[in-house]
A and B are shown apart, each in its own frame.
Chain A
Amino acid sequence: MLTKRIIPCLDIKDGRTVKGVNFVQLRDAGDPVELAKIYSDEGADELVFLDITATVDKRKTLAELVTKVAKAINIPFTVGGGISTVEDVKVLLAAGADKISINSAAVNNPKIVDEMAKEFGSQCIVVAIDTRTMDGIDFVHTHGGRKPTLLKTQAWAKEVADRGAGEILLTSMDHDGTKSGFANELTAEISSALSIPVIASGGAGSMPHFKDVFTFGRADAALAASIFHFKEIGIPELKSYLIGEGISIRK
């Protein structure tokens, strides 16, 4: 049986993890490779690296990091953040990334999704959607959720799926950082409407939140950052809990 995926997300700046991490076994708390290895050994099903470096010459650092990660771990990983061209994707895939995720680039130029899917295959193109509710309507946001667009989230998700996205990474900016649970209703709505997998993100604060997003939220995967980094929830205990709750999980 296909299992639901648990995905830790690592924020990267200049080749280093940025958000504080609380791993006693880390020799170097800022080393993404070491952290990736720990998560992989603990049973993470995939990893996401989100690069928040802005400058162009730092992109080379990212490709080098991707190679180091690919050499070190044996689970799939996605790289996102500032990717806008087919050439960007080519470099990162060649460096060893399994998937890339695009966000603003798709909003600015939706055709880039078609181009990337055609060039590299849908399986490695994840479209990240940051969404926020305004007056009861879900709108796509860019710039880390600060800048609203006129795109309605449900319609945009359908459009990128039709254009060839292989997966959707749906982050609820209303829930992100609240630790009050994922945006189950919206996730379920989008997951039910699409034939591609949906990764839910934003709001994880407890183990039942994961159960809820996999059941009510119909998510195929759930992503979280700080609760894993700060060891509030360990991946092995989370997986044991979910298995106990009858969720299909890789042990």
Chain B
Amino acid sequence: MKIAVIKYNAGNVQSVLYALERLGADAVLTDDPEEIHAADKVIFPGQGEASSAMAYLKARQLDQVIKEIKQPFLGVCLGLQLLCEHSEENDTECLGIFPVKVKRFIPENSQEFKVPHVGWNELENLADNVLVKDLPDPKFLYYVHSYYAELSEATIATTHYIQDFTAILHRDNYWAIQAHPEKSSTVGEKLLSNFLTI
């Protein structure tokens, strides 16, 4: 089984490769459309800024490649946000796989709530979905983000920070996680290994 990890101008890609390596998966970092299409599964990781990431993807037609993927596809962190329709981060039109808007956290009380949302927080309201099957308890994941996806019909798990936001999305062959499963200890490992079974 071959996993393509999409290479673009976003950080934190190495950790995803190492996590896949720990699970014994055969992963390759690539921006070659053919190689991406030929893979059994595709992971779209990333940390960074939405508009520059979208510009980079478009310049290399990777936006089209992502929209055409038929295999199981997993967006992580910025990857989740880019799969949505629009991000408030520099007013960016995103890929539109999920009809969901990405907004900035606005704390009512800035002493209580820092932005970015950094640290370990819990998954809640889990749907019956293969990606979140048999996760160990308690379901803490590691988050680092200032923008969040609104709740939607595609939301299959939520997390609470300031308000409930989308922790995980699923539609057709696309899944996406806001947290960093590759940095989320045993819960994150189980999420990734669940994805590998899809």
Contacts and interface: CB of A to CB of B under 8 A. Distances in A.
B partners with A: yes
B115 A195 contact: yes
A3 B159 CA distance: 12
B138 interface: yes
B21 interface: yes
Contact of A98 (B15, B49, B140): B15
A196 B12 CA distance: 20
A58 interface: no
Given A123-B47, A197-B114, A250 B18 contact: no
Given A74-B22, A74-B184, A124-B11, A192 B111 contact: yes
Given A40-B185, A121-B47, A250 B12 contact: no
A109 to B, nearest CB: 22
Contacts of B47: 121, 123-124
B116 interface: yes
Q: Dominant SS at the B interface?
A: mixed
A250 B116 contact: no
Contact of A2 (B11, B120, B188): B120
A53 interface: no
Nearest to B140: A250
A121 B52 CA distance: 12
Contacts of B115: 195-196
Q: Dominant SS at the A interface?
A: loop
Contact of A96 (B14, B48, B143): B14
Contacts of B93: none
A177 to B, nearest CB: 27
Given A74-B22, A93-B11, A96-B15, A5 B119 contact: yes
Interface residues of A, number: 34
A3 B119 contact: yes
Contacts of B98: none
A75 B185 contact: yes
A155 interface: no
Contacts of A123: 47, 116, 118, 144-145
Contacts of B70: none
Interface residues of B, number: 39
B119 A221 contact: yes
A196 B41 CA distance: 36
B118 A121 contact: no
A120 interface: yes
A65 B97 CA distance: 39
A74 B182 CA distance: 6
Given A123-B118, A124-B47, 15 more contacts: A1-B160, A2-B117, A2-B121, A70-B18, A74-B189, A75-B185, A76-B142, A120-B11, A121-B11, A123-B116, A166-B116, A197-B118, A221-B119, A250-B120, A250-B138
| 9 residue pairs, one from A and one from B, having the closest CB atoms | A250-B120, A250-B140, A123-B144, A76-B183, A3-B120, A2-B121, A96-B14, A71-B18, A192-B111
